[in-house]
Every structure is written in structure tokens, then in C-alpha cells.
Structure 1
């Protein structure tokens, strides 16, 4: 059954998940301070594993069963590189559905995770379409914080997209690529942390749209 709504979970970098990232370990026990807010949107074709990525990053769990998403929003408090940030993540429907909704979130988001499956080359072509759409909606801005994530790295026997192809596109597009497995927990943190670092660099004072009126949210603990 499709999921919809504004349910959200709360996470701190060192409480709900353990990470091999030294930066995360160094911030344990930091005193509270100003927390900048950033909004990021996860986009890609249906079935590539967007929700699995988000849940692995936020809750360190893997979704065994595919459950098509209409729209899901999550709030996380993330500690990374000695700073605490408030991250609002939007997990969207597959781009072949609800295009108007996705365009609305592109307008509102300041950072983007573009997801494709390493086992389906056609989903990488969809990422290129999304990337161009983002630049168009953002008025041709070439410095939009963005990462491209290939999923299902654990399914090596089914792989259709080579590392060489990803490296070629990373150079051509000027966007970092990550190979990940939400099932195994491989490189998921690194991809989201890279995006957070890019958003912080571009918007050191936080999301310029963060003062927009928010809808009520419930929190999944």
C-alpha cells in the first residue's frame, strides 16, 4: 500500500546509529548550539530504493518489502564534522508519477539526492532528466547542492552500470556519485553527509526558505 503524509523520525548522529565516519564520532557529547535547517529532496524512478536509503540513513534499518511511496517527509537532527544541523528530507514518488508534486519539491528544496539502481541502466538516464529539470527550475543555477546515488551495490551479478560510467558522468556533470547498498549499509552515510556538507557550504546560515510555514508533524521514535 502506498504511503503518504508527513510522518517523520528524529535522529541524532551518535544515538540512533553507529557510523564508521570519524567526524560523527568526534561530535559525541557536544553542547547544544544554534542549529541550521536544510531541506533536501530524494528523487528517482520508482523502485530504485529511495525509501530504503532514507530509512538506512535515518534509522539504520533496511526495508525488506517494497512499498511504493507517494510522499513522505522526515526530520532529522544530524551531528557531522563538529556541527549539528536540522535536516528535512522529502522522500518522493517515482518520477514517472506525480510530476507536479515533484516539481513543487524541487522549487522548495535546496539540496537533492538523485537515485538510480546499479542494476537498471535506464534509471540512470532518468537521473539525467531529473538533473536537467532541477537546473531548469532553479533558473540555470549550476551550483545546486546535489549528489547522485547508485543503489543495490550488493547485487553485483545483476549490475548494469559500471564504475567507469559513473566516473565519466561525475566529471561531465560536476556532481559526486556514490555506489551504495541500503541492505548492507554500504556508503549511505557518506552520500548524505556529502550533501549536507555541500548545503552548509552554499548556505552557511541555513535554508533561506526555512521560515516558511510548516505543517504539523508526528514523530516516529
Structure 2
């Protein structure tokens, strides 16, 4: 076997990839997510993304037009992933207290397990949300999570376990902020206070604390007794 034949893909494998554009797109987006989250929009290079995927540079441009378009699609895929997983929680089938608790714990754990998502959001904030604002998909996805949270909250108020007067968007902000900080500031916080924040036992404590704080914030005085 020659060196050339040992490193090149078999013809059948190349044909399979060519006939499976969704797989190729998914591969490109997975690598692009890592590159953009680590290096930002300005630092990421299409050449490097192509080298780390099964696609050529020409193929990346064929699917995504240019680097900014690829970045936007990467953002959309990241938000689509978390919102899809949220729908799988089936909150509408749960009692309000259980539904909210499940959502909080899911958000905390999702962010902890997906630091690339947090870094992408941080990078998009550097760009003042300019690319996010161009995406109707992201807008509709995020509107959906507010609708789901509003439904849980309304059912909780009706049943008497949640206090009145809260804005679902502000409640979502609170859940997101507590879960986001756990990842975005993990390294600096751990070094400043000499604390192994990422240790499993500490992550479990923080997940419990965040859930307890949110639940205490929304529950009525009677429900807390």
C-alpha cells in the first residue's frame, strides 16, 4: 500500500459523504463551533476549519457563502440545540413547581456541559448582538422558551404556589444569569478564591443553590412554609 492510498478516503466513503450533505454540514458546524468559541469571529479561519473537517474550503463556501454566514449558522445551531432539548423536558405535563425546578436544573447543567455555547454567546455580545439580530430563527426559538416559561408561571399563579406580578422574561434572565456565570467566570472565580468550582461536588451544590434561589423567588409565602 502506498503512502497516498493509506491516507486518502476510499471512493465509497467519498461518495457517501457527497450524497449526505446534512452530515457534511453538521461536521462543518461542529468544527466551526469550536473554532469560533475559542478564537472569535475575527480569529477563526476558514482554512483551519476546512483542515479539521471532512470538507474542502470550496465546499464550506458552497454551503455557507462566507465566514460571517458560517458564524451566524453556528449561532443558530447552538441555540437550536438548547431550545430543542428544552422542549423535550415536556414541562406542560408537569406540576408548576416540578416544571420550574426541572427547567432551572436543566439550564444549569446544559450550560456547565456546553462551555462552547457560553463562549459563543459572550462573543456575540462583543458584537452587540449584531448577527443574532439578523436571525429570525433565533428570535422565534427564544420567543418559544419565554412562552413555555410563561405557561408554567401562569399555572403556578393559578394554583397558588407562585406569587403574582413577575415577568417571565425577567425570570428567564435570572435563571440564565445564575447558570451562565457558573461557566463564564469559572476560571477567574476559582483562581481568585482558591476554590475548585468545577469539582463535581461543588457543581452539585451550586446547582442545588441556584434551583433553591429561583424557587424561593417565585413561590408564595404560604408555599414556602
More helix by share: 2
TM-score range, shorter chain: under 0.3
The alignment's TM-score, normalised by the length of structure 1, stands at: 0.25
Computing the radius of gyration from Cα coordinates, the structure with the larger value is: 2
More strand by share: 1
The alignment's TM-score, normalised by the length of structure 2, stands at: 0.25
